[in-house]
Amino acid sequence: MNEIAERAHETVHEHGGHGDPWARGVAVLISVLAAALAMTEIGVKSTQNEYLTHHIAVSDDYAYYQARNLRSVMKSTEADILSSLPNASDAAVQAKIKESQEYADRMRDDPKTGEGMKQLLARARTREELRNEAFHHYHFYEYAAGALEIAIVLASVSVVTRIRQLAFTAGVIGGLAGLVSLAVVTGLV
Protein backbone atom coordinates (compact mmCIF):
# COMPACT_ATOMS: atom_id res chain seq x y z
CA MET A 1 0.00 0.00 0.00
CA ASN A 2 2.84 2.42 0.86
CA GLU A 3 4.50 1.63 -2.45
CA ILE A 4 1.37 2.69 -4.36
CA ALA A 5 1.13 5.93 -2.35
CA GLU A 6 4.81 6.68 -3.04
CA ARG A 7 4.36 6.14 -6.79
CA ALA A 8 1.31 8.43 -6.80
CA HIS A 9 3.27 11.09 -4.90
CA GLU A 10 6.19 10.81 -7.35
CA THR A 11 3.84 11.04 -10.32
CA VAL A 12 2.30 14.23 -8.96
CA HIS A 13 5.72 15.82 -8.48
CA GLU A 14 6.92 14.70 -11.92
CA HIS A 15 3.91 16.31 -13.62
CA GLY A 16 4.02 19.75 -12.17
CA GLY A 17 3.80 19.32 -8.44
CA HIS A 18 0.65 20.81 -7.06
CA GLY A 19 -0.64 21.99 -10.41
CA ASP A 20 -2.79 24.98 -11.23
CA PRO A 21 -4.89 26.03 -8.21
CA TRP A 22 -7.68 27.29 -10.47
CA ALA A 23 -7.89 23.94 -12.28
CA ARG A 24 -8.01 22.17 -8.91
CA GLY A 25 -10.84 24.48 -7.85
CA VAL A 26 -12.76 23.60 -11.01
CA ALA A 27 -12.07 19.91 -10.35
CA VAL A 28 -13.61 20.33 -6.90
CA LEU A 29 -16.58 22.14 -8.51
CA ILE A 30 -17.02 19.24 -10.93
CA SER A 31 -16.88 16.78 -8.04
CA VAL A 32 -19.54 18.71 -6.13
CA LEU A 33 -21.72 18.94 -9.24
CA ALA A 34 -21.30 15.20 -9.85
CA ALA A 35 -22.30 14.43 -6.26
CA ALA A 36 -25.34 16.71 -6.57
CA LEU A 37 -26.22 14.97 -9.83
CA ALA A 38 -25.98 11.56 -8.16
CA MET A 39 -28.30 12.68 -5.35
CA THR A 40 -30.71 14.22 -7.85
CA GLU A 41 -30.76 11.00 -9.86
CA ILE A 42 -31.74 9.15 -6.69
CA GLY A 43 -34.65 11.59 -6.39
CA VAL A 44 -35.54 11.01 -10.05
CA LYS A 45 -35.71 7.24 -9.57
CA SER A 46 -37.58 7.54 -6.29
CA THR A 47 -40.29 9.81 -7.68
CA GLN A 48 -40.50 7.71 -10.83
CA ASN A 49 -41.16 4.62 -8.70
CA GLU A 50 -43.65 6.55 -6.58
CA TYR A 51 -45.48 7.69 -9.71
CA LEU A 52 -45.64 4.17 -11.14
CA THR A 53 -46.82 2.71 -7.83
CA HIS A 54 -49.67 5.22 -7.57
CA HIS A 55 -50.50 4.85 -11.26
CA ILE A 56 -50.89 1.09 -10.91
CA ALA A 57 -52.97 1.51 -7.74
CA VAL A 58 -55.27 4.01 -9.50
CA SER A 59 -55.67 1.62 -12.41
CA ASP A 60 -56.48 -1.23 -10.03
CA ASP A 61 -59.03 0.87 -8.12
CA TYR A 62 -60.84 1.85 -11.33
CA ALA A 63 -60.82 -1.74 -12.60
CA TYR A 64 -62.25 -2.91 -9.29
CA TYR A 65 -64.80 -0.06 -9.46
CA GLN A 66 -65.90 -1.23 -12.92
CA ALA A 67 -66.22 -4.83 -11.73
CA ARG A 68 -68.34 -3.68 -8.78
CA ASN A 69 -70.47 -1.57 -11.11
CA LEU A 70 -71.07 -4.52 -13.41
CA ARG A 71 -72.09 -6.75 -10.48
CA SER A 72 -74.38 -4.02 -9.16
CA VAL A 73 -76.09 -3.58 -12.54
CA MET A 74 -76.51 -7.34 -12.94
CA LYS A 75 -78.09 -7.74 -9.48
CA SER A 76 -80.34 -4.70 -10.01
CA THR A 77 -81.44 -6.14 -13.34
CA GLU A 78 -82.05 -9.49 -11.68
CA ALA A 79 -84.22 -7.81 -9.04
CA ASP A 80 -86.15 -5.93 -11.75
CA ILE A 81 -86.75 -9.10 -13.76
CA LEU A 82 -87.85 -11.04 -10.68
CA SER A 83 -90.25 -8.28 -9.66
CA SER A 84 -91.87 -8.37 -13.13
CA LEU A 85 -92.63 -12.09 -12.93
CA PRO A 86 -96.25 -13.17 -12.43
CA ASN A 87 -95.36 -14.86 -9.13
CA ALA A 88 -93.39 -11.81 -7.86
CA SER A 89 -95.48 -11.69 -4.70
CA ASP A 90 -94.35 -15.17 -3.71
CA ALA A 91 -92.25 -15.11 -0.49
CA ALA A 92 -89.31 -16.98 -2.05
CA VAL A 93 -89.23 -14.59 -5.01
CA GLN A 94 -89.53 -11.58 -2.68
CA ALA A 95 -86.60 -12.90 -0.63
CA LYS A 96 -84.52 -13.29 -3.80
CA ILE A 97 -85.47 -9.74 -4.93
CA LYS A 98 -84.47 -8.34 -1.54
CA GLU A 99 -81.20 -10.29 -1.59
CA SER A 100 -80.36 -9.00 -5.10
CA GLN A 101 -81.16 -5.40 -4.16
CA GLU A 102 -79.07 -5.60 -0.99
CA TYR A 103 -76.19 -7.07 -2.97
CA ALA A 104 -76.45 -4.29 -5.58
CA ASP A 105 -76.57 -1.66 -2.81
CA ARG A 106 -73.50 -3.20 -1.13
CA MET A 107 -71.62 -3.07 -4.44
CA ARG A 108 -72.37 0.67 -4.67
CA ASP A 109 -71.61 1.58 -1.05
CA ASP A 110 -69.92 -0.68 1.48
CA PRO A 111 -68.50 1.37 4.36
CA LYS A 112 -67.99 -1.79 6.40
CA THR A 113 -65.31 -3.22 4.08
CA GLY A 114 -64.44 -0.01 2.26
CA GLU A 115 -64.76 -1.80 -1.06
CA GLY A 116 -67.97 -0.27 -2.41
CA MET A 117 -67.97 1.81 -5.58
CA LYS A 118 -68.28 4.99 -3.52
CA GLN A 119 -65.23 4.11 -1.43
CA LEU A 120 -63.23 2.87 -4.43
CA LEU A 121 -63.89 6.09 -6.32
CA ALA A 122 -62.78 8.22 -3.36
CA ARG A 123 -59.62 6.13 -2.93
CA ALA A 124 -58.84 6.30 -6.66
CA ARG A 125 -59.18 10.08 -6.68
CA THR A 126 -56.86 10.42 -3.68
CA ARG A 127 -54.30 8.18 -5.37
CA GLU A 128 -54.63 10.18 -8.58
CA GLU A 129 -53.61 13.30 -6.66
CA LEU A 130 -50.62 11.49 -5.18
CA ARG A 131 -49.66 10.15 -8.61
CA ASN A 132 -49.91 13.59 -10.20
CA GLU A 133 -47.82 15.13 -7.42
CA ALA A 134 -45.13 12.48 -7.91
CA PHE A 135 -45.18 13.15 -11.67
CA HIS A 136 -44.79 16.88 -10.99
CA HIS A 137 -41.81 16.23 -8.69
CA TYR A 138 -40.31 13.85 -11.23
CA HIS A 139 -40.22 16.59 -13.85
CA PHE A 140 -38.52 19.05 -11.49
CA TYR A 141 -35.89 16.44 -10.66
CA GLU A 142 -35.36 15.76 -14.38
CA TYR A 143 -34.83 19.47 -15.07
CA ALA A 144 -32.38 19.71 -12.17
CA ALA A 145 -30.47 16.62 -13.37
CA GLY A 146 -30.24 18.04 -16.90
CA ALA A 147 -28.99 21.37 -15.57
CA LEU A 148 -26.37 19.62 -13.43
CA GLU A 149 -25.15 17.65 -16.45
CA ILE A 150 -24.83 20.88 -18.43
CA ALA A 151 -22.97 22.49 -15.52
CA ILE A 152 -20.50 19.59 -15.40
CA VAL A 153 -19.86 19.93 -19.14
CA LEU A 154 -19.33 23.70 -18.85
CA ALA A 155 -16.94 23.28 -15.93
CA SER A 156 -15.00 20.61 -17.82
CA VAL A 157 -14.76 22.78 -20.91
CA SER A 158 -13.56 25.72 -18.80
CA VAL A 159 -10.53 23.71 -17.68
CA VAL A 160 -9.58 22.87 -21.27
CA THR A 161 -10.28 26.32 -22.74
CA ARG A 162 -9.15 28.30 -19.67
CA ILE A 163 -12.31 30.42 -19.95
CA ARG A 164 -13.09 31.18 -16.32
CA GLN A 165 -16.58 32.53 -17.08
CA LEU A 166 -17.62 29.01 -18.08
CA ALA A 167 -16.65 27.73 -14.62
CA PHE A 168 -18.56 30.58 -12.99
CA THR A 169 -21.61 29.86 -15.19
CA ALA A 170 -21.33 26.17 -14.33
CA GLY A 171 -21.31 27.02 -10.63
CA VAL A 172 -24.39 29.24 -10.97
CA ILE A 173 -26.31 26.67 -13.02
CA GLY A 174 -25.29 23.90 -10.63
CA GLY A 175 -26.31 25.98 -7.62
CA LEU A 176 -29.72 26.73 -9.11
CA ALA A 177 -30.22 23.07 -10.02
CA GLY A 178 -29.27 22.08 -6.48
CA LEU A 179 -31.83 24.55 -5.12
CA VAL A 180 -34.52 23.06 -7.36
CA SER A 181 -33.71 19.57 -6.06
CA LEU A 182 -33.73 20.85 -2.50
CA ALA A 183 -37.09 22.54 -3.10
CA VAL A 184 -38.56 19.24 -4.29
CA VAL A 185 -37.17 17.33 -1.31
CA THR A 186 -38.55 19.87 1.16
CA GLY A 187 -41.93 20.03 -0.57
CA LEU A 188 -41.68 23.65 -1.70
CA VAL A 189 -42.62 22.69 -5.27
Q: What is the pLDDT of residues 122-152, one digit of tens each?
A: 999 999 999 999 999 999 999 999 999 999 9
pTM equals 0.75
In a domain, 172, yes or no: yes
Total tally of structural domains belonging to the chain = 1
Tell me the torsion sign for CA atoms 17, 23, 25, 28.
negative
- What was the pLDDT predicted at 8? 46
Identify whether 4 is part of a domain. no
Would you state the pLDDT for residue 21? 87
Q: Is the confidence at residue 181, as pLDDT, over 50?
A: yes
Domain that holds residue 52: 21-186
Residue 5: inside a domain, yes or no?
no
> Does residue 14 belong to any structural domain of this protein?
no
What does the angle CA 84 – CA 85 – CA 91 come to, to the nearest 5 degrees?
A: 105
- The answer to whether 176 and 150 have CB atoms below 8 angstroms apart is no
**Alpha carbons 129 and 9: distance in angstroms, whole number:** 57
Asked if residue 83 is part of any domain, the answer here is yes
Q: Are 119 and 111 in contact (CB under 8 A)?
A: yes
Residue 9 lies in a domain: no
User: How remote is the C-alpha of 68 from its chain's centroid?
Assistant: 29
Q: Give mean pLDDT, residues 172-181.
A: 96
pLDDT over threshold 70, residue 3: no
Whether residue 52 lies inside any domain: the answer is yes
CA 50, 56, 59, 63 torsion-angle sign: negative
Selected residue with higher pLDDT from 53 and 4: 53
**Residue 101 pLDDT:** 96
Inside any domain, residue 3: no
pLDDT for the residue 189: 87
